[in-house]
Amino acid sequence: MPVTPTPRKPRASSQARIAAILAAARALLADHGTAGLSIYAVAERAGMPPSSVYHFFPSVPALLQALTAEVHAAFRACLDAPVEHAALRQWRDLSRIVEERMLAVYAADAAARQLILANHGLAELTLADRQHDLQLGKALRALFERHFHLPPLPDDIEVFSLAMELGDRVYALSVQRHGHIEARLAEEGMRVFDAYLGLYLPPWLPKRAG
């Protein structure tokens, strides 16, 4: 029976070029938004011929999808970071910790704001973001389940993913108006996140044993 070969990781030189390309694209996004992004502009910023960029990323949407995956990896790290179980009095304490960590990612990364929150109108990017949100929602639900006993939740709606998307709508409003997430709208986004979860979670959930 034939054995399917395991895909090999890119060589170190290729990984270095990919990192340089993504760094250049990230810088262009921060300076000019998605409208200022092209393969030629990225190549010039990275100091390499356009053919080198095309070799790894055949189109701008492919490049943007790779950057979106990087941003969502940072969000996933927010969920994987330790949480002090004893300090949680209620589930809203946990939701605030998560949202504040994700807001810190947005605050530190202008490219993340452009990719996720700006009004770019790119269908491929929106679809990639939504798919990543589904994965993040499952990870967020698992985080809540590690600390609290959750009630039965709907099977046809991913409650935690939708809560994140609704919070992001408020953050997006701030970015589109001001270019950043203002403190007032950051607080409103967290309230929206909690309010939606509150439709399915009672005010007090029993904590799991520490």
pLDDT of residue 119: 72
CA distances in angstroms from 162 to 53, 81, 159, listed in the order given: 35, 22, 5
| pLDDT score at 127 | 77
Alpha helices in 81-117 (DSSP H): 91-108, 110-112
Q: Could you give the CA distance from residue 149 to residue 209 in angstroms, rounded to a whole number?
A: 10
114 plus 35 within the same structural domain:
no
Same domain, 64 and 155: yes
pLDDT tens digit sequence for 88-131: 999 999 999 999 999 999 999 988 898 888 876 667 777 777 88
pLDDT at position 191: 97
Domain boundary residue, one of 20, 36, 58? 58
The conformational region for residue 179 under phi > 0 = left, psi -120 to 50 = alpha, else beta, is: left
Instruction: Let me know if residue 172 belongs to a domain.
Output: yes
Which residue segment(s) compose the domain that 39 sits in? 11-58
CA 99, CA 107: separation in Å to the nearest integer?
A: 12
In this prediction, residue 54 carries a pLDDT of: 93
**Intra-chain end-to-end CA distance of the chain, in Å:** 49
- The verdict on 23 and 64 lying in the same domain is no
Q: Are 193 and 164 in contact (CB under 8 A)?
A: yes
Bridge partners, 207 (sequence order): 148
Share of the chain above pLDDT 90, in %: 67
Q: Is residue 90 within 8 Å of 200, Cβ to Cβ? A: no
Q: What is the pLDDT of residues 123-139, one digit of tens each?
A: 777 777 788 889 999 99
Q: Which pLDDT score is estimated for 47?
A: 94
Is 31 a residue whose pLDDT tops 70?
Answer: yes
Specify whether 119 is located in the same domain as 39: no
pTM over 0.75: yes
Letter string b/e over residues 152-163, b meaning 16 or more CB atoms within 10 A of that residue's CB? eeeeeebbbbbb
CATH number at residue 149: 1.10.357
Angle at 102 between CA 97 and CA 103, to 5 degrees: 95
Count of domains in the chain?
Answer: 2
Please state, rounded to an integer, the average pLDDT across all residues of the chain. 90
